[in-house]
Amino acid sequence: MMGGGGGGGQMQQIQQEIEQIEQEQEAIEEEIESLRNEQTEIDEAIEAIETLDSGDTVQVPLGGDAYLRAEIQDIDEVIVSLGGGYAAERAEAGAIDSLETKQDTIDDRIEDLESDIAELETEAEKMQQQAQQMQQQQMQQMMQQQEEGDDE
């Protein structure tokens, strides 16, 4: 009497591919979470620029949970990161525009990543269906072999 055939290796391969897809999904979800945190920081920066005035006192983070009180000398001199290690001084409106442009770029990236997740979910579902079909075939083969063994 022979075993269920070579389906075990294929099943294991499909299971590994499903696990790999799930790991990719987790990595993408972590990236989305990081991007959303960046968006929150940008929102807070925009709000601060809009509400602060020259002469206001603020706490400036120094790192290591240490802060320094400082007075804003000129709200129209906001330094905004341009990316790639570069920054530029902008007036209040220009700084807000730059930050909103960053927000839009992040929104686009999040949409792309969510689309990637949807594609991975579809791929994983197809593989799970394939694995279920293989299991059913193996069960049918085992039942047929068992019936053949009973007939003898």
Nearest partner of 4 among 131, 91, 134, 123, judged by Cα: 134
Give the separation between CA 141 and CA 122, rounded to whole angstroms. Answer: 29
Name the average pLDDT for the chain: 89
What confidence tens digit (pLDDT) does each residue in 19-77 have? 999 999 999 999 999 999 999 999 999 999 999 998 999 999 899 999 999 999 888 88
Whether 17 contacts 127, CB under 8 Å: yes
Every domain of the chain and the residues it spans: 9-151
Please, what is the end-to-end C-alpha distance for the chain in angstroms?
A: 12
pLDDT confidence of residue 147: 80
Whether 49 contacts 92, CB under 8 Å: yes
CATH architecture of 9-151: Orthogonal Bundle (1.10)
Question: Dmax over Cα atoms in the chain, in whole Å?
Answer: 98
Polymer length in residues for the chain = 152
Tokens matching residue 27: 């990595």
Give the separation between CA 15 and CA 12, rounded to whole angstroms. Answer: 5
- Mean pLDDT for the stretch of residues 74-95: 90
Q: Above pLDDT 70, what percent of the chain?
A: 92
Give the separation between CA 57 and CA 18, rounded to whole angstroms. Answer: 54
